[in-house]
Structure 1
């Protein structure tokens, strides 16, 4: 749960869609997407130093993906093409004075170091409007009639407030796309329900020899099928009435607890948790997919992340697993409650999260739920951990009793770092990050109430204009343990302006745009006596700044 003052229902449509039709008609352009220049610098060196390079933008994270300039929001599911991961995201090069998004490309060999690839799908190339969220697939057999091996992108276009689904084709390995003949492939039906009609997520359903498209349609998700990726037939829908307007759906199958005999379908959507006392986030349900309909198991929505800033997440199958025991995932680290007000100097719209490995496990009460941990590839750019102050560096060392408040000077070359804590306590304790202006972001563990919270109330001089979602404490429940004192293992990925917290091997995640400048100090504060089994900091190379 999240302690949160009631907020209005905010979506990408209400914030980015106003006036798009008029702008689009006056901004028609050629249909060829912009390719990156040949002299684009190479992928940043993952073996470089841990210090931030001289001249780097002071507000830019070191290892989180951000746009070269202007505005970023939703990521689009990556594809592995030509040995490189291709990740597209929504980008508005006209921000803050012009509307509309297009697909910008970033490529990576390892899902950690990213290279800008320029604009792949331009906005306003026709009267259908700008280019919003969707998904891309490889048409290996050429069933769409656009060539075997073509990369096809499905995306929502919006003009005059009407949302339709369009198809784009790439013959240069996803670098640039052009509109396919006959758009839209799914027109807006013109019903009251279809005012929100977007975010086509296309997956391959091999068991039924078909393609499946999920569409976010207000309070419901629509399911459509096709054999040729051009003609789509409506099959069913799945509704939820208490989570606002659903967006960015997904559907996939995972083994429960790694058991091949317990494969379970997972339905995902970005949603508004106001009715549950929390902000927006990524909800998921488990059940059965029979080729035409998803049937839930009756359990309520579960949340992939309990922080205020993890939205529009995408998942995809790892390339290193022969069976579906896990998936990879990343999401947008911002919140529509304040995204447009929280501007930085060199870019806007926050950052993308690190890539996470997501698994399906049996949670409290026997209910399946997703848990996530940072991708192992991040370890390659992470240095050796060092103890904070006189704290132990390993759970095998003698634990140290601790009480009161201790401040540690940051022990890493930059504030791109990973903090690992292993603490046993029956009293509340806090880890606080402080920047040079004494602004802070705090993670609090409350053993008595089995809760962990992230709080950045004092993390920005602009909190007065960012509103209650920014200033609230965002809280998650911890699982009870069969002993008197709660032992919590916590990893925090800290970067300029961002914080991702993973508790107990990812059973609980809290992600937040911290609003901090350079973190210069770390405080550990306990209301009573705690036992510290380990407290370390490890530098992470600022690979996005090289």
Structure 2
């Protein structure tokens, strides 16, 4: 058996003050700060995660999207309507700034539309704020979108609302089982069905869809190649993946979405990047907001979320905030993502080595002395003439027996994450969730040269790997043993060339 898991809280990720968190809610900038909400369950039962009450919205703010200040629950679960009817717990939705006062709550009111579920019935309710998102009032006419066919329509959730300037109306993307429904409104209160997007109609089975996201980006930062993106939380098991964030590029005509290709792409190849939300920087000139945007996801997976060895009285965290762009790879517009530049100030002065050989012996690379549980590794590795290694392997959070391994396979041109001997999680989970947790995760990254660059962000119990400036990413939770802090760099066989290696800790 492995030893006890460290109870150290992550240093540079959003975590709840206690109990449980899951889906992040799309942030916005207002009153000189960023506002982020996430689903929070103060009644989470660590002994029986399936018990306890539902979720509500918890509020945090930041100036840089790295350091966040907690403000507590802002939309409470089980609030009654004006008629005294309890609509249920507060689930995923989205908030918009109603600059033109279309809803009648005042110019620049924050309007949140979210799913409330009571007695298994999912409906959409509206809450509004006139103090920059610090307090919310339930709309007296809730639900603004009653379930149209109870109980035969159990999946009716996760509204994502945007303003479509081309058609001068609000647009909502809503998860409805294997379908994304699109709705339109002039006032955020009354909604009309416009169309539906069903991947299964084209033979693509992604299971139950959740947490849709609809937005625009410029391909290659070229405004003449502006395109629409539809992203969803999806199940990738039919495609050799786990649950994650799938996306399509395509066209939106004000009423319906048409993808370029019905087969989706994926924002992250790791096991723990779900319920993703994205947002633009409204401080920028309008024309510049489509070059890139930000994204954040929930780092967990429903295949084993109720079986993880949570510690320290809290459960769950968000991913790093990422900058996402669309670039052409081959002939396909592809999402790339890297951590936002603000994280640079999180880490101290790095220590580096360069021009080394990597072998199966960890001592060969002569890595600098390293310690701590939260750090970033930036490394470049080549397979040069005479190099006969196939894989570079970076073993993080090791204690001599247990470790997590990330690396790159030059033969199959893919990045990988291996955590089947990471520590506590290895011994703690039942068989079925453990199989999902232990599965090796990969993402294809073909190389234009013989060199690969890996950026590895470790924060006590998570790792996020970005390859070749974000052309692929792998994100996963890890549960290392207490005191597991060694880092080793080796090959699977033979040797490879370590061009550079920099380590910087928090």
Does the TM-score normalized on the shorter chain lie above 0.5?
Answer: yes
Contact 2:29 2:281 in 1 (8 A): no
**Which of 470, 475, 480 is the matching residue for 2:442?**
475
Q: What is residue 19 of structure 2 aligned with on the other side?
A: 70
Q: Give 1:374's match in structure 2, choosing from 339, 342, 347.
A: 339
Q: Distance in 1 between matches of 2:396 and 2:219?
A: 36
- The residue number in structure 2 matching 1:403 is 359
Q: Give 1:357's aligned residue.
A: 323
Is 1:292 aligned with 2:255?
yes
Where does residue 103 of structure 1 map in the other structure?
A: 57
Q: How does 1:253-402 map to 2 (within 5 A)?
A: 253-319=216-282, 321-322=284-285, 323=288, 324-364=290-330, 366-387=331-352, 391-392=353-354, 399-402=355-358
Q: Is the 8 A contact 1:193 1:217 kept in 2?
A: no
Tell me the distance in 2 between the aligned counterparts of 1:171 and 1:531.
Answer: 58
TM-score, normalized by length of structure 1?
0.83
* Per-residue deviation, residues 340-386 of structure 1 (Å, max 9, x unmatched): 2114222443211110000001123x111111000001112222221
What is the rounded CA distance, in whole Å, between the counterparts of 1:528 and 1:112 in structure 2? 40
Indicate conservation of the 8 Å contact 1:350/1:513, yes or no: no
Give the drift of 1:307.
0.3
Structure 2: gaps of 5 or more residues:
1-5, 46-50, 81-85, 384-388
Tell me how large the CA RMSD over aligned residues is: 1.7
Conserved in 1, the CA contact under 8 Å of 2:215 and 2:228?
yes
Distance 2:238 2:413 in 1: 22
Residue of structure 2 equivalent to 1:533: 499
CA contact (8 A) 1:251 1:268 kept: yes
Indicate if the aligned counterparts of 2:278 and 2:294 stay in contact, CA closer than 8 A. Answer: yes
**In the alignment, is residue 180 of structure 1 matched against residue 139 of structure 2?**
yes
Tell whether 2:390 aligns with 1:424: no
Equivalent-residue separation in structure 2 for 1:291 and 1:227 (angstroms): 13
Number of aligned residues: 471
For 1:385 and 1:93, the matched residues in 2 are separated by 39
CA contact (8 A) 1:59 1:344 kept: no
Match of 1:87 among 36, 52, 66: 36
Q: State how far apart, in whole Å, the 2-side matches of 1:442 and 1:195 are.
A: 40
1:409–1:520 CA contact under 8 A, matched in 2: no
| Counterpart Cα distance in 2 of 1:256 and 1:519 | 42
CA distance in 1, matches of 2:502, 2:222: 34
Partner of 2:135, secondary structure, is coil
1:68-217 map, 5 Å: 68-96=17-45, 97-126=51-80, 127-190=86-149, 194-217=153-176
Residue 90 of structure 1: how far off its partner (Å): 0.2
Cα distance between partner residues in 2 of 1:318 and 1:362: 23
2:277 aligned counterpart, secondary structure = strand
Q: Partners in 1 of 2:176 and 2:336 — Cα distance?
A: 27
SS in 1 for 2:145: coil
Aligned CA distance change for structure 1 residues 427 and 435 (closer, same or farther; 3 Å): closer
Q: Distance in 2 between matches of 1:479 and 1:105?
A: 41
3-state SS of 1:194 partner: coil
Unmatched segments (≥5 aa) in structure 1: 1-56, 393-398, 541-546
Change beyond 3 A, Cα 1:370–1:233: same
The answer to whether the aligner puts 1:234 opposite 2:193 as a matched pair is yes
Name the CA shift for 1:430/1:171 in 2 (closer, same or farther; >3 Å). Answer: same
Q: 1:336 to 1:270 in 2, by over 3 A?
A: same
- Residue 191 of structure 1: how far off its partner (Å): 6.1
The C-alpha deviation readout for 1:233-276, integer Å capped at 9, x for no partner, is 10001011210100000111110011111001000001000110
Instruction: Using the TM superposition, give the Cα deviation of residue 449 of structure 1 relative to its aligned residue in structure 2, in angstroms.
Output: 1.1
Shift of 1:437: 7.3
